[in-house]
Structure 1
Amino acid sequence: MTTQRQAVLGLLAQHEDQIVSEWLQEAGASSGRLTDAARRAMAVEASDVLRTLRTAPQADADPEQFQAAPWTPLRQVLEALSRSRAAQGQSAGDTSQFVLAFKRPLFTTVQRTVADPQSQLAAVWAMSTLVDKMAQWTVSTYQQTREDIIKRQQQDLLELSTPVIKLWDGVLAVPMIGTLDSSRTQVVMETLLQRIVDTGATLAIIDITGVPTVDTLVAQHLLKTVSAIRLMGAECVISGIRPQIAQTIVHLGIDLEGIASKASLADALELALRQRGYTITRTV
């Protein structure tokens, strides 16, 4: 089978332009739905894959061992193709279909140039196996890329959903909205501690008005955050404790002794200002 692969690789070099043209036609590059830029991008992708395919593999490279070292350059080209399409919002199916469209021009080239039927069959089988592996690799890379994008977006959303606000000189506030979990609490803690260092704040208000429920796990997360704040030399006030949450905390036996708490963010800010010697008076 190695002889057939070498023969086909030689045909790729001789008929590269024709194969690329037939590949693009098979992949639907002539469709009126595609823009000129999309057609040019597909042509570049096809040319890169074909050029790498005919130059990268060693003579003993086995398509069944597609993750082996000889196929590394081709895998890298396919990974770049898949990541680019994933970033553009194209589906894994569209990407794999584009690679699988490579089969017809390959088979057509073999039929035109290889006379012996047995050699034709061996060459077609070898290249069919390779193209299938290539398509599978693009799907795997696409899935990994999408997972990375989703994780990055989740991290961005976490950071956006936990802003640290400067309410007054030396006073920071973190309005919490939604359910607290370990990953989100970690983001809150890291962001808040960094802002304490950056601003020299001495008091942080954690407002849980937007937290729907408080259970043992949520309370533990809050206590850890308070402990970390104190280790940085600052104090902490928890605000937004509604009557239902207060009853839940009591029933669960959660000890918040030593932690200042207020019913609202306004009350917490008033406490913070009073501790710093400010007096709030009505002018009218």
Structure 2
Amino acid sequence: MSLATTGHLAKILTENQEALLEGWLSTMLSRLVRRDKNAEAELRQQASRFIPLLIKALDKGSSYDIDNSNWTEVRQLLGEISAARVRQGYSPTETALFIFALKEPLFAQLRAAMADDAAALATEITETGMLFDRLGLHTIEEYQKSREQVILRQQQELMELSTPVVQLWKDVLALPLIGTLDSARTQVVMESLLQKIIDTGASIAIIDITGVPTVDTLVAQHLLKTVAAARLMGADCIISGIRPQIAQTIVHLGVNLEDVITKATLADAFLVALKRVGATVAHSA
């Protein structure tokens, strides 16, 4: 596969920038699912930046290899556009359209300029087509990378939101867990709990696993690690939400929780915690 330029593309782009820009925008806007003035203005601004950078990359060397350093600015712009499209909720197809929509008006200009040389025209259209296919694939790859980063960030935020540490009393904290407790989440749980212990000076932390669907050896180990970490910070832990089936599972697995106070409900654990810190709850008359 040839990666060498013939020089015609840069010339066509330079001499027909305005016509190409309008034709490109017309094609993009006709295929765009969401259309409003802001979207159109953004497309025009991005397209107006792209064409000069494309010309600059072509003028710098004699290669259509977009991995070449001559194409750095073009790749960076496509990365910026792809990241913006992810944040705005565009699909991969809509994002790749930014590149592929330029083919039609560009090919029309090439055919008009090189009508007298059919062989050269065929070569230029083939090479230009492959160039834009590579640019389109690069755009989709950047879109996927940006989307993965957004998903990872959202997962981290959800993980942090799903592990709130609540102060129930002056020296008593509660950490209600909902969902599966894996290694990554255990780290977040420990960090949140330890930081809250530091902030409040609490001496008791209740870890409530009522919302944890299953407890296996790994989950039990994660709980014990959290308990051990809290103890190192000067706080004892009570594990609540021990349902009959979970109790049976823990016994069957041979997990040693003998030195950890366990209770069936959060309310029971709270009463124990109050006694441990010297507080009492009395019914009003």
1:128 matched to 2:129:
yes
SS in 2 for 1:23: helix
Alignment of 1:155-174 (within 5 A): 155-174=156-175
TM (normalized to structure 2)? 0.93
Q: Do 2:239 and 2:260's aligned partners in 1 also have CA atoms closer than 8 Å?
A: yes
8 Å contact from structure 1 (residues 29, 39) kept in 2: no
Give, in angstroms, the shift of residue 279 of structure 1: 2.0
Provide the residue aligned with 2:196 in structure 1. Answer: 195
Q: 1:47-82 deviations in whole A, cap 9, x for unaligned? A: 11111101234543522x322211110001111111
- Paired residues of 2:159 and 2:185 also in contact (CA < 8 A): yes
Which ranges of structure 2 fall in alignment gaps of 5 or more residues?
none
Question: 2:50 is aligned with what amino acid?
Answer: V
* Code of the aligned partner of 1:97: L
Equivalent residue, structure 2, for 1:109 = 109
Total equivalences in the alignment: 282
The equivalent of 2:269 in structure 1 is: 268
Alignment of 1:250 with 2:251, yes or no, is yes
Give the match for residue 143 of structure 1.
144
1:103-153 residue CA offsets vs partner (Å, 9 max, x unmatched): 111111112223432332232222212111110011101111111111111
In structure 1, distance between residues paired with 2:9 and 2:22: 17
Gaps of 5+ in 1: none
- The residue type equivalent to 1:146 in the other structure is R
- What is the TM-score when the length of structure 1 is the normalising length? 0.93
Work out whether residues 24 and 30 of structure 1, in 8 Å CA contact, stay in contact via their aligned partners in 2: no
- 2:32–2:94: 8 Å Cα contact kept in structure 1? no
Give the whole-Å Cα distance in 2 for the aligned partners of 1:61 and 1:189.
56
TM superposition outliers: structure 1 runs of 4+ over 4 Å: 29-33
- Corresponding position of 1:72: 72
Q: Which residue of 2 aligns with 1:217?
A: 218
Secondary structure of the corresponding residue to residue 29 of structure 2: coil
What displacement does 1:2 show? Answer: 4.8
The aligned runs of 1:176-187 (5 Å cut-off) are: 176-187=177-188
1:167 to partner: Cα distance: 0.6
Aligned AA for 2:72? T
CA contact (8 A) 1:61 1:71 kept: no
How many Å separate the matches in 1 of 2:258 and 2:25? 71
Q: Deviations over 1:197-227 (max 9, x none)?
A: 1222221110011112211111011011111
Q: Tell me the residue number matched to 2:238.
A: 237
* Cα contact 2:203–2:234 (8 A) shared by 1: yes
| Contact kept in structure 2, 1:162 and 1:174, CA below 8 Å | yes
Equivalences for 1:86-105 in 2 at 5 Å?
A: 86-105=86-105
1:108 aligned counterpart, secondary structure? helix
Instruction: State the distance in 2 between where 1:166 and 1:234 align.
Output: 13
Post-superposition CA distance 1:158-217 (Å, at most 9, x none) = 111111101111211100112211111111111111111122222111001111221111
Partner amino acid for 1:192? L
Q: Distance in 1 between matches of 2:60 and 2:49?
A: 20
Corresponding letter in the other structure for 2:102: F
The answer to whether the Cα contact below 8 Å between 1:79 and 1:141 also exists between their aligned partners in 2 is yes
Is contact 1:236-1:260 (8 Å) kept?
yes
SS of 1:110 mapped into structure 2: helix
CA RMSD of aligned residues (A): 1.8
Distance 2:32 2:91 in 1: 18
How high is the sequence identity, in percent, across the aligned residues? 47
